[in-house]
Amino acid sequence: MSSQPSVDTTALRKLQPRFSGIESGHGACQGCGQALAARLVLEAAGPDVIVANATGCLEIFTTPWPQSAWNVPWIHSLFENVAAVAAGIEVALRAQGRTTRVLAFAGDGGTFDIGFQALSGMLERNHDVLFVCFDNEAYMNTGIQRSGSTPHGAWTNTSPAGRVRQGKRHFKKDLLTIISAHGIPYAATASVAYPSDLRAKVRRALDVSGPSFLLLHSPCPLGWGHDSAQTISVDRLAVETGLFPILEMERGKVVSSMKIRNPRPVREYALPQFRFRHLLMDTPEAREELEHLQALADANIERYDLLSEAPGPRDSGGADTVRRGGSRWG
């Protein structure tokens, strides 16, 4: 039934023209945005890294003892301390004169909320660590509970929609502003829908000396309630609605943004996701919340000047353009 030639996959894996920091066989859900994002990060970072990972989906689905999907040195301690563990590794490497780069991986829980203190301390002390937050906008590993990163209006098991509530009451914590207030040399957001941009930002962050921060929007088909095949298309909409701006900041100043070529209404983003479906109901409360979400998106667009005047190769329409024969994926 298979239309492909019979091949020796083990041998083939050794011939892949990219570094595979995460091996196949991990237990991520089908279509997991975080698994994809983590794979892309390590591709760009290469093998000479040490990864400290906070508790969360990524940690759980990659390390069921005695199996591990990690091909790089990796340590998981607790939920709230990955920035501090990474800081310790970095300090030790510096004392030993080693140039291996240190990456901290955490979900939005381990970054926005419980891990925030350690992150802030690490940034303030100027450790040479790249902190990567895989933002799926809720505590997914524990069963879809709201986090500081959950968007306004989103359903989670601790912010469900019902007769008197329309999902999360509070807003998505503006983490990038908080991070940028630390004045670190490089902070950026990226999306799995734009993998070339994501990888370029990893390389740029590693080029920087001192702390750097990446916020990677990573859809969760299970928690967001969309089809596993829609992970990329949903995230493209997150960018094109303005709800998740793609920015780069240096020392607190926005130096570049991915312009939106064809802005899309928030309704289009809400439609494929169960967590926003209640906003599409025909009730005054739902309509009001949807309008509110639209206003928040519009505010982002205005604040970061996200509309493009003319189409360009790095805007939301051009940044994922394919090139025949590959090698567009820098």
Partner 1 sequence: MRDVLEGSQAIARAVALCRPQVVAAYPITPQTHIVEALARLIADGLLEAELVSVESEFSAASVVLGAASAGSRSYTASASQGILLMSEVLYNISGLRVPVVLTCANRAVSSPVSIWNDHQDSMSVRDSGWIQLYCADNQEAVDTTIQAFRISERTELPVMVCVDGFTLTHTLEPIDLPEAGQVDAFLPPFRFSRSLSSARPLTQGTLVSPEFFTEMRSLQHGAFDLAEQEILAADRDFGALVGRDSGGLLRVEGDREATVGILAMGSVYGTLKDAHRSGLLGRPVRLLCLRAFRPFPSRAIREASEGLSDLIVLDRSLSPGSGGIVAHEIRSALYGSGRAPRIVNFVVGLGGRNVPGEIFQEMLEALEKDPPAFSIFDLDPEKLPLSKDPVLPTS
Partner 2 sequence: MGIDKERPASPVRVNAGGFALPGTSKANHTGSWRLERPLYATSPSPCHGACPAHEEIPVYLDHLAMDRPRQAWEALVAANPLPAVTGRVCPHPCETSCHRGSYDRALSIHSAERFLGDLALREGWSYPGLDGEPREEAVAVVGAGPAGLSCAYHLRRAGYRVTLFEALPEAGGTCRIIPDYRLPEEILSREVERILATGIDFRPGQKLGRDISLEELEEGFSAVFLAPGRQKNRSYSVDHALPGDLHHGLDLLREWRNVGSLPRWERAVVVGGGNTAVDLARTLLRTGSREVHVVTDEELPGRPSPTGRGTMPAIAREVAMALEEGVRIHTGRRIGRLILREDRVIAVELLHALKEMEGEAPVHRAFTGTETILETDAVIPAVGQEVDPAGIGRLLRNRPFLSLIPTGQVEGERRIFAGGDASPGGGLVSQAVGSGHHGARRIDAFLRQKELSLESPPSPIPFTSLNLAYFVERPAYEPRELPVAARTGFSEIESTAPADLIRTEADRCFSCGHCLECDNCWTLCPDGAVLRTAGIPGIPVPYVFDYDYCKGCGLCARECPSGHIRMSPEP
Q: Which residues bind partner 1 (CB under 8 A)?
A: 47-50, 52-53, 59-60, 62-66, 68, 70-78, 80-81, 83-96, 100, 117-118, 120-121, 124-125
Which residue, 134 or 224, is less far from partner 1 as judged by CB?
Answer: 134
Give the 3-state secondary structure of 274-330: HHHHHHHCCCHHHHHHHHHHHHHHHHHHHHCCCECCCCCCCCCCCCCCCCCCCCCCC
* Least distance in angstroms from the C-beta of 116 to partner 1: 11
Token code pair at residue 330 = 């820098």
Return the one option of partner 2, partner 1, none that residue 142 interacts with (CB less than 5 to 8 A, by type): none
Calculate ∠ Cα 330-15-217, nearest 5°: 40
Contact present, 315 and 261 (Cβ < 8 Å): yes
3 binds, among partner 1, partner 2, none (CB under 5 to 8 A by kind): partner 2
Instruction: Output phi, psi for 16, to 5 deg.
Output: -70, 130
Comparing CB distances to partner 2, the nearer of 284 and 313 is: 313
Dihedral (CA of 320, 324, 329, 330) sign: negative
**Residue 155: other Cβ atoms inside 10 A:** 27
Smallest gap, in angstroms, from Cβ of residue 203 to partner 1?
17
**229 touches which of partner 1, partner 2, none (CB within 5 to 8 A by kind)?**
partner 2
Residue 281's binding partner among partner 1, partner 2, none (Cβ under 5 to 8 angstroms by kind) is none
Question: At closest approach, how far in Å is the CB of 307 from partner 2?
Answer: 17
Task: Examine residue 265 and say whether the peptide bond preceding it is cis (omega within 30 degrees of 0).
Answer: no
Q: How near is the Cβ of 62 to partner 1 at its closest, in Å? A: 8
227 binds, among partner 2, partner 1, none (CB under 5 to 8 A by kind): partner 2
